[in-house]
Amino acid sequence: MNIVVCMKQVPDTWSERTLRSTDSTLDRDAADAVINELDEYAIEEGLRLAEANGGEVTILSMGPEKASESIRKALSMGADKAVHLLDDALHGSDALATSAALAAVLGRIGFDLVILGSESTDARMGVMAAMLAERLGVPQLSFASKVDVDGTAISINRQADYGYDRVEASLPAVVSVVEKINEPRYPSFKGIMAAKKKPVETLSLADIGLEPGQVGLASAATEVASFAKRPPRQAGTIVKDEGDGGVKAAEFLAAQKFI
């Protein structure tokens, strides 16, 4: 089975994240860069499915030069090879352009199964699996908390507010996963050493048949008009529980007309 895991490098949630004042795009230099946490679950699921069913796991990442560090880390977890879509013209691409570029790569390299995290921790749109499935004309199996593959049949538990839905389809398909699905492995020392020799193919826009004008900030279908730091919340009333903390809390709720 040919499994492709889409991986995005994002600013670490734990560092201070901001936008660039020049063009309102993500400031990638301001924060530490890491693998999007939900994509780690996607990588783990890809590895497990390949181990159980046979096949290969390819990491696909679109991003600047720096993304190669995260690609190496994904390879050290056990993926076999990687494709890095790297082109300055991609800077500032919105979800539409990103999905077009990723779909073009996927069309070129082929796949039985594409796996992604259900969203990225920076943009948090949660639309990439749906957009890729739409562009590729294959089933969308998203928000999976469980994935079962049997030959060319695939089924998932799709997490929902009320519980979950069982959803069935045939490969090839696009799957997105939630963090409940597994526990991502840490790269082993052996894995880290092996990753250094694994093949990483770098593709440009020209390689995938797209024009610079089809992607990037200038052609984005959405734009940031302005942004500002959220003003700090007004300091609230903090009381120490002297045996009547619950009473005081109830008085606050009553004063605010919640009870």
For the segment 13-52, give every residue that binds another protein (CB under 8 A): 13-14, 16-19, 24, 37-38
Do residues 144 and 181 make contact, with C-beta atoms less than 8 angstroms apart?
A: yes
Nearest to 198 by CA among 74, 39, 105, 108: 74
Which residue in the set 21, 22, 196, 259 belongs to the binding site for another protein (CB under 8 A)?
259
Binding of residue 179 to another protein (CB under 8 A): yes
**Cis peptide bond prior to 172, omega within 30° of 0:** yes
Instruction: Tell how far CA 96 is from the center of its chain.
Output: 15
Which residue in the set 25, 121, 204, 214 belongs to the binding site for another protein (CB under 8 A)?
121
Binding of residue 80 to another protein (CB under 8 A): no
Give, as one character, the DSSP assignment of residue 161: T
Using CA atoms, how far apart are residues 232 and 157, in angstroms rounded to an integer? 40
Biggest alpha carbon distance in the chain?
70
Binding of residue 254 to another protein (CB under 8 A): yes
Binding of residue 180 to another protein (CB under 8 A): yes
Which residue in the set 20, 33, 81, 126 belongs to the binding site for another protein (CB under 8 A)?
126
Which residue in the set 63, 78, 92, 139 belongs to the binding site for another protein (CB under 8 A)?
139
Q: Which of 72-80, 105-113, 198-206, 233-241 is the region at the interface with another protein (rule: CB under 8 A)? A: 233-241
Binding of residue 193 to another protein (CB under 8 A): no
**Rounded alpha-carbon distances, angstroms, from residue 176 to 131, 139, 142:** 12, 11, 4
Pairing mode of beta strands 56-62, 173-177: unpaired
Do residues 59 and 43 make contact, with C-beta atoms less than 8 angstroms apart?
A: yes
Q: Which of 59-67, 189-197, 207-215, 220-228 is the region at the interface with another protein (rule: CB under 8 A)? A: 220-228
Residue number, 107 or 199, with CB nearest to another protein:
107
Binding of residue 211 to another protein (CB under 8 A): no
Which residue in the set 61, 76, 159, 182 belongs to the binding site for another protein (CB under 8 A)?
159
A 10 A CB-CB count for 63 gives 20
Residues binding another protein: what is the number (CB under 8 A)? Answer: 88
Binding of residue 184 to another protein (CB under 8 A): no
